[in-house]
Structure 1
Amino acid sequence: MGIGQWTIGEREGHAAWFGETEKLSLCVIPGLGSKVVSLANRSTNREWLWSSGKKLGNEGFASPFSSGDESGWDEMFPGINECSYPDEPWSGRRIPDHGEVWSLAWEASCTGSELRCKVEGVQFPYRLEKAYSFLSEDTLRIDYVVTNLSDSSFSFHWAAHPLLQGKEGMKLHVPEDLNEIEIAYSEGKRLGEFGDLTDWPLIEKDEGTVDLSILGAPDRSVADKYYFTGKLSVGWVRLSDPATGESLAMRFPEDKVPYLGIWANSGGYGGYNHFAIEPATGRMDDLNYAMRHHEAATVDGRGTYRWFLEITLT
């Protein structure tokens, strides 16, 4: 008998699966990209996921991410930025904004204490599956597997996209050897242009030294996406709230998920205030760029690629 339990219900008119232990709870909506719309610490009643306040939903496959609810935790696969696949036999096939799977309905089934979700590609021959289970009362585990349904090797970019409720003073903790970032996007070029490198966490600006590891106050000029340069030596990252002593930590296999991206938005995009920790199989959001720089994951023809995430709430 595993830890925790799952029940099926409804969230804003959508079929939803609710998983819980004594210390944490989550809600998954298979019909909306199998997104997680709630991840809460039951011991403190803290909801970690951010909501835009929009009605849950999207406008269907390949629709812009901004036309949907923009809330919670989506899966980004097989790319992030809209682009065309560069190599044969799928050269020129479009990868939509935020990938294919976030806007597709997934199949879901529950066996005991495990929830399984799966979906197949539209433009590309793959199957993406994930299984939710609980390692302990305070730790959620998600096991992922991509199956290549073709005879040709397939390169892809997967990243977790949990939009977390950002609060001034929260602190990002990463392995000590991470000290440089590459800019993917920065509103008003605050941190630089695409591909620029800069030190992390301290950077010098006209207004003085900025510590990127500490979330700042709401500021409509700030929206940054960056990746740490190089591959991770160890797969972990944590976001803490010194004001309450609470934290959200992630652990993942650095050989399969070797990169870490950060999305920090305190008003520069949409007037929203949220923060995303994005373990990733590739770098810099653009699959073309990642493939050219040999920083994309590849699954052999008829092969599989497996990884996991473990999320601990304290």
Structure 2
Amino acid sequence: MSWTTHQINGLNAWTGRTSAMEVTLLPELGSKMVSLRNRLTGREWLAPAGGPLGNRGYASSFADSDGSGWDEMFPTINVCRYPEHPWKGTELPDHGEVWSIPWKAEGQEDDRLSCSVHGVRMPYRLGKTYSFAAEDRLRIDYQVTNLSPFPFAFLWAAHPLLHIEEGMEIIVPGELREIAVSYSERDRLGMRGDLRAWPRPFPNRPECRLDRTGRREERTAEKFYFTDELPEGAASVYDPVKQEGITFTFPKEKVPYLSVWANYGGYQGQYHLALEPATGFLDDLAHAMKQKAAAVVEGGGTYTWHLEVGWTKGKL
């Protein structure tokens, strides 16, 4: 296990690898992960950029970025205004603050990589440390430090845009039965907040299944959250043809929500899928706070969680 530094398009890059996994990050580009490769099969799991890597800087629209890789969404996803004292009325940018600004990266002696960034409009420090829990499993430990004396609410979500093919399986705990719509292109699944059954949202249209990746030609795009309490923090995408997959695991006590972004050509013509463990509900921090569905770190305190990513092998 080791980390090395190099350059990608003039940007400093860090690559960590084991016998089974290779990971590449760009700290200067919001600490975006641009590659997550299975070295045993050669499969690249992250969606590539359709054009030049990059974004238009702090508070720019995520739609104007490269639409690739894995970014961190924090402290909101949708644009909103913080609703409580002492930052009441402060506007938080699209997809949060941290995906569009440089992070500091530092290799550790114990084969870990630590990255950190400070808030722009809110007083916090967000840190994450990458390590390999096994040859085929990456672990990311997160820590939010509140640099103020007041309680600070936040919404974090992982945003790994996965490189997919038609017919791949989306696997979540079997007890989950219902989703809430956050976004649906042309309102195919309904309006924001509408509830639908999982995995078949329409009783009269059994052919419509949300647990299988669709074709790019379908021109659909949806974001939805599971409304049921997670029995465990786990979600996977599996390729039944090549019999390999990727699995995300996380502590449900700290990360109690799971959402899915399924873009089959409907948004900007892009084709990818994201499984998004989250600390808040329905993308809007202000909404989540009103629903008591946001994480809170007390004044001067810290909030920690982790996420592990590993390979699924063989037939499920």
TM-score of the pair, normalised by structure 1: 0.97
Alignment-derived partner of residue 64 in structure 1: 61
Secondary structure, in 3 states, of the residue corresponding to 1:102? helix
Secondary structure, in 3 states, of the residue corresponding to 1:123? coil
2:43 to 24, 42, 46: 46
Letter in 1 for 2:263: N
Secondary structure, in 3 states, of the residue corresponding to 1:291? helix
Secondary structure, in 3 states, of the residue corresponding to 1:69? coil
1:9 to 6, 10, 18: 6
Matched pairs, number: 311
Gapped regions of structure 2 (runs ≥ 5): none
Alignment-derived partner of residue 122 in structure 2: 124
Letter in 1 for 2:220: V
Displacement of 1:205: 7.4
Secondary structure, in 3 states, of the residue corresponding to 1:165? coil
Q: Deviations over 1:159-199 (max 9, x none)?
A: 00000012111001111111100000000111110000010
Displacement of 1:208: 4.9
Task: Note the 1:152-171 alignment, pairs <5 A.
Answer: 152-171=150-169
Task: Note the 1:18-97 alignment, pairs <5 A.
Answer: 18-97=15-94
Secondary structure, in 3 states, of the residue corresponding to 2:201? strand
Displacement of 1:226: 0.1
Contact 1:220 1:269 in 2 (8 A): no
Aligned-partner Cα distance in 2 for 1:313–1:7: 22
Structure 1 residue runs of 4 or more that deviate by more than 6 Å after TM superposition? none
Aligned-partner Cα distance in 1 for 2:211–2:12: 37
Contact 1:203 1:209 in 2 (8 A): no
Letter in 1 for 2:159: H
1:282 to 277, 280, 283: 280
Aligned-partner Cα distance in 1 for 2:219–2:240: 25
Displacement of 1:71: 1.0
Contact 2:48 2:68 in 1 (8 A): yes
Alignment-derived partner of residue 210 in structure 2: 212
TM-score of the pair, normalised by structure 2: 0.96
Q: Deviations over 1:266-303 (max 9, x none)?
A: 00001111000000000100111111111100000000
Alignment-derived partner of residue 193 in structure 2: 195
Letter in 1 for 2:126: L
Aligned-partner Cα distance in 2 for 1:141–1:86: 33
* Stretch moving more, 86-95 or 50-59: 50-59
Secondary structure, in 3 states, of the residue corresponding to 1:50? coil
Alignment-derived partner of residue 266 in structure 2: 268
Aligned-partner Cα distance in 2 for 1:111–1:221: 44
Contact 2:50 2:67 in 1 (8 A): no
Do structure 1's residue 101 and structure 2's residue 98 form an aligned pair? yes
Aligned-partner Cα distance in 1 for 2:62–2:116: 20
Gapped regions of structure 1 (runs ≥ 5): none
Displacement of 1:218: 1.6
Aligned-partner Cα distance in 1 for 2:252–2:98: 23
Aligned-partner Cα distance in 2 for 1:69–1:14: 15
Displacement of 1:76: 0.2
Do structure 1's residue 243 and structure 2's residue 241 form an aligned pair? yes
What percentage of residue pairs aligned between the two structures are identical?
51
Secondary structure, in 3 states, of the residue corresponding to 2:208? strand
Q: Deviations over 1:245-278 (max 9, x none)?
A: 1110011000000000100000000111100000
